[in-house]
Every structure is written in structure tokens, then in C-alpha cells.
Structure 1
């Protein structure tokens, strides 16, 4: 399984080259499926979504598909994932994304599709693989409001592949509160490992091994 878990998409040449290397062929010879599901639970202006989709589209894919996980028959969703070489899952509310996967019984089929494809996560799309994506981590991280927005009090992780948790947008001007002091407060409460990554950083996961790809800054709390 090849995962490229970003904070804010393919914002620099290092991340784009990493994806190209993981894919093993030119973007022009590959199909990508763009999953915007997490974004629809976010209120307010969605220029960030349009900008990231435009940036991805500009890489020049053979086919650029857009797939919403809710409302379509399960097998149709899985068939669309299987038709892609790259599954690109956008940011937004990670709890909504996780619940969309579990509620539509997509977990097993989704993971099976990823065995022979490259997955690129953006923010929420990068956060859904942790076994610690629960109501407890929501309280530790300070994301409880995002969970309650959905009318939910509990959360079951859809995949539970890793014990570590990923928190994006460290030092981001769009999230000015996410500085070292913010990360320090979280790590004081946390009883699980956390990667904090900025918008120029990604975690690359290959055969279960994790390494950091970056033109920016990141932190790890073991």
C-alpha cells in the first residue's frame, strides 16, 4: 500500500515528484479520482477546495474523475476507485469523511483498492488511517466541535492501520493558532504518537514503513 499523506496537497515540487515516483509513470498516462466528501461538511468559503482541485488538475492527467462517497451504490463507488491509478482524497471534516466510509460499508473495499493504487490524502484525507481517530483523540486534539457538528458523540476509525495520529497545518497562516505552543499543549495531553506537519510536508507510507517528505517543517511526539 502506497500512501502520501499531505497537509495541504501537492504544493511543492518535492511532493509532486514523490507522487510521480510512487506512481511509476507520467501523470499523463494515469487516471486520478478526486474525492471531495470531507469538504462538504465544512461551512463557509470553499475557494481552498477549488484552488487545490485546479492545482491537481493542472498536472495533466489522462482522466480526472470526481467521486462523492455518499449517495451512490457501494459497488459503483468501488468500481470508480478501481478505475483510478491515484485516489486523491480532499480535506475538510475528517469525522464526516470517516463516517461516510463506515456508514456506506466502504472500508474493506476501499483498502483492497488501495493495495494496487497510490493514495494521496489532503488534511482530513490524511487523518482517517489512525486507530486513534476516536472521540478520545477529538478531546485531546481539541476537535470535539467538528465531531459534534455531525450530531455525533462517538467515532469509529474506518481503517485503524496505524497507532500514530496525524495533525496537519502546523505553522499555517490559514490556522494561525497552530504554532509550537499549540502543539506543546496537545502533546502534554496525548497518550498516543502524533505527527504534526506543515503545508509543505507529507508522510510517505510504503509497505508499512513511514518516512517524512518535506520542503517545510514538522514535529513528532512519540
Structure 2
């Protein structure tokens, strides 16, 4: 399995080059499926979603599909994933995304599809693979309100592949509180490893190898 877990998508050439290398062929010879599910649980202006979709579309794919995980038959969703070379899962509310995967019984088929595809996550789409994506981590991180907004108090991680947790948008002007002091306060409370990444960074996983590709800044605790 190959994952490129970003905070804000393919914002720079280093991240785009990393995806080209993982894909092993030009974007123009590949199909991508764009999954906006996490975004629909977020209120307010969605210009950020449109901008990221346009940036991804502008890479010139052979086919650009858009797939919502809710409301379609399970087999239809999995067949659409299997027709893609790259599965690109957008940001928003990570708890809504996780609950959409488990609630629609997609986890097993999703992982099967990813055995031979490249997964690109954006923010929430990058957070769903941790076994620590639970109501406990929501309390530790300080975003339990995003879980409670869904009418939920508990959460089952859909995949549980990694023991570390990824928190995006470090130093982002859109989240001005996310500075070093904020990251350190969370890390002091956490009983699991944490990657904090800025909007120019991704955590890359190829089989059992984990590294960071970046034109920006990031931190790992401990």
C-alpha cells in the first residue's frame, strides 16, 4: 500500500513529484477518483474545496471521477474505486468520513482497492487510518465538538493501520492557533505518537516505510 497524506493537497512540486513517483506513470495516463465526503459535514464557505478540486483537475488526468461514499450501493462505490489509479480523499470532518466508511461497510473493500492503488489524503482524508482515531483522541486533540456535531460520542476507527496520529495545518494562517505551543500542549496530553504537518508537507507510506516529504515544516512527537 502507498499513501501520501497531506494537509492541503498537492500544493507544491515536491508533493506532485512524490505522487508521480508513487504512481509510476504520467498523470495523463492515469485515472483519479475524488472523494468529497468529509467536506459536506463542514458548514460555511467551501471555496477551499473548489480550489483544491480545480488544482487536482489541472494536473491533466485521463479520467477525473467524483465519488460520494454515502447514498450509493456498496458495490457501486467499490467498483468506482477499482477503476481509479489514484484515490484522492478530500478534507473536512474526519469523524463524518470515518463514520461514512464504517456505516456503509466500506472498510474492507476500501483496503482491498488500496493494495494496488495510490491513496492521497487531504486533512481529514489523511487522518482516518490511525488506530487512535477515537473519542479519546478527539478529547486529547481538542476537537470533540466536531464529533458531537454529528450526534455521536463514540467512534470506531475504520482502518487502524498506524499507531501514530496525524494533525494537519500546523502554522496555517487559516488556523492561527496552530503554532508550536499548541502542538506541544497536545503532545503532552497524548499517549500516542503525533505528526504535526503544515500545508506544504505530507507523510508518505510505502509498504512499511514511513517518511516525510516537504517544502515546509513539520514536527513528530515523541
TM-score range, shorter chain: over 0.9
Q: Gapped runs of 5+ residues in structure 2?
A: none
TM-score, normalised by the number of residues in structure 1 = 1.00
Secondary structure, aligned partner of 1:159: coil
Give the whole-Å Cα distance in 2 for the aligned partners of 1:191 and 1:113.
Answer: 31
Q: Which runs of 4+ in 1 moved over 4 A?
A: none
RMSD across aligned positions (CA): 0.4
Give the whole-Å Cα distance in 2 for the aligned partners of 1:98 and 1:162.
Answer: 15
Q: How many residues get paired?
A: 222
Aligned residue number for residue 53 of structure 2: 53
Give the whole-Å Cα distance in 2 for the aligned partners of 1:204 and 1:64.
Answer: 23
Secondary structure, aligned partner of 2:159: coil
Matches within 5 A, 1:37-116: 37-116=37-116
Aligned residue number for residue 214 of structure 1: 214
Secondary structure, aligned partner of 2:44: coil
Aligned residue number for residue 204 of structure 1: 204
Q: Gapped runs of 5+ residues in structure 1?
A: none
Secondary structure, aligned partner of 1:220: strand
Matches within 5 A, 1:116-195: 116-195=116-195
TM-score, normalised by the number of residues in structure 2 = 1.00
Give the whole-Å Cα distance in 2 for the aligned partners of 1:146 and 1:89.
Answer: 18
Q: How far did 1:209 drift?
A: 1.3
Secondary structure, aligned partner of 2:130: coil
Q: How far did 1:127 drift?
A: 0.1
Q: How far did 1:208 drift?
A: 2.0
Give the whole-Å Cα distance in 2 for the aligned partners of 1:217 and 1:44.
Answer: 28
Aligned residue number for residue 8 of structure 2: 8
Give the whole-Å Cα distance in 2 for the aligned partners of 1:204 and 1:160.
Answer: 17
Q: How far did 1:97 drift?
A: 0.2
Q: CA-to-partner distance for each residue in 1:16-62, whole Å, 9 max, x for gaps?
A: 00000000000000000000000000000000000000000000000
Q: How far did 1:220 drift?
A: 0.3
Give the whole-Å Cα distance in 2 for the aligned partners of 1:172 and 1:208.
Answer: 29
Give the whole-Å Cα distance in 2 for the aligned partners of 1:30 and 1:162.
Answer: 28
Q: How far did 1:195 drift?
A: 0.2
Give the whole-Å Cα distance in 1 for the aligned partners of 2:211 and 2:184.
Answer: 22
Q: CA-to-partner distance for each residue in 1:156-176, whole Å, 9 max, x for gaps?
A: 000000100000000000100
Q: How far did 1:70 drift?
A: 0.1
Give the whole-Å Cα distance in 2 for the aligned partners of 1:63 and 1:207.
Answer: 26
Q: CA-to-partner distance for each residue in 1:142-167, whole Å, 9 max, x for gaps?
A: 01000001000000000000100000
